[in-house]
Structure 1
């Protein structure tokens, strides 16, 4: 049986409990947060403005729309977390790790989205006079909820009083006694909730619900029709994720998915395959297929950076090698070879070409370490782009057609299935980009399989050993050069495989598509950021990180010159408050958080 200690709720908070930031007693703050959340929910069923000129038509009574839906979600979360903190029967499962932190972030999500909407209405329409009663009510309600949340105490895990570097028997006894004292205190105060292992079918249903929620959030975010709605979506989703994480729901879902990894992976691909059926045209399926290409390449880079610990700043060049090699043998009139291989052969050519380049570049350079290796790989990325730009028949042999690239790459035709035509599947019309989305999904599945099998293999353990301490690994008999060269070659071939699909999706392959850095991915800087921000050494981390890093810049293009500035601020904040990544492994959590070993989830032996 697992015992989970949570933050004190209203029933167990003593009268002398510390206040939050604004000095209001916690009991009053909790009531204020609850009332503010309820008022916010009510306000979403009222009109916020009198004219439909503001995007989303917020003039309708009784039916939330546009940004009102996001505020409704935030207000509902705030209310539910606040009620759970009172010990309302049936809501305890919402806050296995405590309610106060979850209330803070849920109220912040509600306040940020609500006040952004109110300010946007006033700015776009010419003053607060354009607000209807619902607009004033949501401003007051969300502010009240935020003030109440800030009045709640900030509970931090109690630090272990023993020196963490001490490995003596006395240290072990003191640590065990300290943790058991924490468990007993939690039971005595009523803040510990025994949670038994759920039946397998219940856990599988939870996995299905989590994947369905993920599909809904992704579909909603990619399908936002106007800029204000996407900004509201970012605010609600970002702070809402933090609220769920503080409540402990994310940790519990992670434990459940870890117990059913195969079901989770298969379910994730089924959910991804359902995405094109949620779209009415190819507008957003276009973004979907580009996101899959970017995410697949990021997962290949994760082998090099996340598992082997090799800092590669020119990885996008391998994507370009695969794309150019496939384009040259796929029947393009711009190709100097004038051949048309079937897709499976073109894919093998692209992967093999990247593999060869990975070995040729890695063999003389992988004896370097750290910053020196990073500089060499950065140079390789630039050399590839410049070389492809000069092989135009003037500065060099006519192979890549220079800056014009290889154009007019024909659509794929596999077993009579034309990827450039519209097909009817189960009553749904699937267009060109949706066809390539399914193909890229199969490629992604292959890359995930390679990553899982290699990561769990003997060579994968050798990669991790090299990443953690290369000197110690060499002393234990690991051939460091051979192990790193294999990682470089495998990562390069996976990038080349994704490049074969990218060449057919974009019709044209040019050197400018493979820069080190630029406003729109894929490029080496964004690929590395996707791996680091998503979570190095994991499968889901780079996939989610790449999805966010591709989607957000595309949606923030209306900011113009300030796009990268806003994006950079967001990255800085994310790395400040979650340096281990969005989906980290346990090792990186312990590295980046000194209090990660504090007893938030304790297990009693023999229970």
Structure 2
């Protein structure tokens, strides 16, 4: 009689490279659980989740979703559609050109996270789970069932790297952790993409219009969230929803369509942005819109310096300050020692030219440096600018900028008799002060986008990219590296100064504290650089989207108090860990990062 050892009782792990799920459930049952749980999650949004209206959003109604229920409804509906597409339902194949299973996992996980965040918030704020109604219990159970089913969907397990027998315990731990991360990445990654049928041109244009309409709706909803819990739920739903659409292949397909109709896409994006003020009833959220545009325009100018030319500038916000101060000094403000009041076009020229001059003066002696040395010099310039305007108060230095008090009482702009500080009625809609400045900044953003596109596609733009990729090789090919970098520095500074002229009139006051290297709120140099990297270096849409997120999210997360930057920083770390190329990546950078991610990691030592 043989004795059965513990090793004999151990269940064999799935062989590397074979399809399996994170949970040992048959694929058909897993798909049924994910589908059924998603459908029940949708049904639960039409039931009451709590008995009292004390929780924000009033989740006490039957038959009428509200507040966070709407987000769960959207996530559950999206997960249900992807589940049906995974079954091969006729007419839904276009939803998953890159496969459905990974999209199902992201959509289900987002619905689960939003639902459980709501249920936990209700229990904590109202004093226990006793405050949940049947709908609350149903959505918790349904999303949990859907998550179990989604995690059990099959995926291709990567083969582990060989283990070095001489490796230390720490090296073996790193090996196991790397393989676990690879397994999780594979579990949430689609399989081989299916070929996508080319659509007629008019259909592709309709697709672009639909995408822009959805983007406008999502942005308007996000910026108009009325309470903190709703915004956090919006972030969860939007983040996982974007991941699901990306893994399904729809984002890549839409990107290909927009690339084939680039001019239509750009014009349509500006039309959609111009419609934003008409969706608002007052200036409360139009205020955020104009500040987002200012921040995004400056980030796009920095993208020329960092994204195209590869110059790490840590003091870029100083050029925004130069433009703002130059325009404020000639704006007719009583705080200005010059006592002049230039028209708008002249103030814009003064601000842009002042930033251009400072860009050339700073760049000429410093751009022969590279890498970290250039970054330190530009960081020093940013601090020198702030200290200089702080000391030119008539006591520590000449009386120019009024020191720490800044230039105050800057009058509103008046362009061809149109006073931007007064509300106007347009087509039955009342457009307030910040909406007026929103349209002005939108026009300036269009100019900056045009400059970026034309310069990026020009000979000088290709020279910038060559310098960024390998400056030594570019110099060997005959490119004048110093001149090319100086042009990039000057153009970026000019665009920042252009935005600064409008910022001075929007904020009424220009002070040195607005132009720090780092702070709790943008714009500052650290946030500007993060917007370029987060959005995608070398692209147009990337910094615009990155700047919008980096301005909107801290503004909405103020309820976290001292933990605001901690939560925000953790979110950035996770995003850069799983999508280092940025949200809207340049094709070259996307291939580089994915090439690194897909390359096998060898942890074994090479013997002599």
Q: 2:97 touches 2:196 (CA, 8 Å); kept in 1?
A: no
Q: 1:589 touches 1:596 (CA, 8 Å); kept in 2?
A: no
Aligned counterparts of 1:192 and 1:471: Cα–Cα separation in 2: 39
User: How far 1:21 moved relative to its partner?
Assistant: 1.3
Q: 1:590 touches 1:597 (CA, 8 Å); kept in 2?
A: no
Q: 1:235-384 alignment to 2 at 5 Å?
A: 235-384=236-385
Q: 1:46 touches 1:62 (CA, 8 Å); kept in 2?
A: yes
Q: 1:17 touches 1:26 (CA, 8 Å); kept in 2?
A: no
Say yes or no: does 1:118 pair with 2:119.
yes
User: How far 1:551 moved relative to its partner?
Assistant: 0.2
- TM-superposition CA deviations, 1:335-383 (whole Å, max 9, x none): 0100000001000000000000000000000000000000000000000
SS of 1:136 mapped into structure 2? helix
Aligned counterparts of 2:422 and 2:22: Cα–Cα separation in 1: 60
Unaligned 5+ segments in structure 1 are 1-15, 160-189, 599-607
User: How far 1:195 moved relative to its partner?
Assistant: 3.0
- TM-superposition CA deviations, 1:123-150 (whole Å, max 9, x none): 1111111111100000011111111110
Q: 1:296 touches 1:543 (CA, 8 Å); kept in 2?
A: yes
Aligned counterparts of 2:243 and 2:510: Cα–Cα separation in 1: 40
SS of 2:422 mapped into structure 1? coil
Q: 1:459-478 alignment to 2 at 5 Å?
A: 459-478=460-479
Say yes or no: does 1:409 pair with 2:429.
no
Q: Which runs of 4+ in 1 moved over 6 A?
A: 156-159, 595-598
Q: 1:157 touches 1:595 (CA, 8 Å); kept in 2?
A: no
- TM-superposition CA deviations, 1:45-84 (whole Å, max 9, x none): 1110111111101011111110000000110111111110
Say yes or no: does 1:565 pair with 2:566.
yes
Say yes or no: does 1:483 pair with 2:496.
no
Say if 1:96 and 1:552 are closer, same or farther in 2 by CA, change over 3 A: same
Say yes or no: does 1:426 pair with 2:427.
yes
Give the structure 2 partner of residue 4 of structure 1: none
Give the structure 1 partner of residue 6 of structure 2: none
Give the structure 1 partner of residue 197 of structure 2: 196
Give the structure 2 partner of residue 7 of structure 1: none
Aligned counterparts of 2:326 and 2:155: Cα–Cα separation in 1: 57
Give the structure 2 partner of residue 105 of structure 1: 106
Give the structure 1 partner of residue 149 of structure 2: 148
SS of 1:195 mapped into structure 2? coil
Q: 1:307 touches 1:467 (CA, 8 Å); kept in 2?
A: yes
Aligned counterparts of 1:255 and 1:156: Cα–Cα separation in 2: 30
Give the structure 2 partner of residue 513 of structure 1: 514
The alignment yields a C-alpha RMSD, in angstroms, of 1.5
Q: 2:313 touches 2:374 (CA, 8 Å); kept in 1?
A: yes
Aligned counterparts of 2:486 and 2:60: Cα–Cα separation in 1: 62
Q: 1:48 touches 1:59 (CA, 8 Å); kept in 2?
A: yes
Q: 1:590 touches 1:596 (CA, 8 Å); kept in 2?
A: no
Give the structure 2 partner of residue 544 of structure 1: 545
User: How far 1:585 moved relative to its partner?
Assistant: 1.1
Say if 1:465 and 1:22 are closer, same or farther in 2 by CA, change over 3 A: same
Give the structure 1 partner of residue 533 of structure 2: 532
Give the structure 1 partner of residue 14 of structure 2: none
Q: 2:355 touches 2:496 (CA, 8 Å); kept in 1?
A: yes
Give the structure 1 partner of residue 576 of structure 2: 575
Give the structure 1 partner of residue 60 of structure 2: 59
Q: 2:18 touches 2:156 (CA, 8 Å); kept in 1?
A: no
User: How far 1:158 moved relative to its partner?
Assistant: 10
Aligned counterparts of 2:251 and 2:597: Cα–Cα separation in 1: 16
Which structure has more RCO (C-alpha within 8 Å, separation ≥ 6)? Answer: 1
SS of 2:516 mapped into structure 1? coil
User: How far 1:155 moved relative to its partner?
Assistant: 3.6
Give the structure 2 partner of residue 504 of structure 1: 505
Q: 1:315 touches 1:377 (CA, 8 Å); kept in 2?
A: yes
- TM-superposition CA deviations, 1:464-508 (whole Å, max 9, x none): 000000000000000000000000000000000000000000000
Unaligned 5+ segments in structure 2 are 1-16, 161-190, 600-608
Say yes or no: does 1:130 pair with 2:135.
no
User: How far 1:22 moved relative to its partner?
Assistant: 1.7
User: How far 1:154 moved relative to its partner?
Assistant: 2.6
Q: 1:411 touches 1:418 (CA, 8 Å); kept in 2?
A: yes
Q: 1:421 touches 1:432 (CA, 8 Å); kept in 2?
A: yes
Give the structure 1 partner of residue 8 of structure 2: none
Aligned counterparts of 1:555 and 1:191: Cα–Cα separation in 2: 39
TM-score of the pair, normalised by structure 2: 0.89
Deviation larger for 19-28 or 462-471: 19-28
Q: 2:98 touches 2:194 (CA, 8 Å); kept in 1?
A: no
Q: 1:49 touches 1:58 (CA, 8 Å); kept in 2?
A: yes
Say if 1:156 and 1:446 are closer, same or farther in 2 by CA, change over 3 A: farther
Aligned counterparts of 2:482 and 2:192: Cα–Cα separation in 1: 53
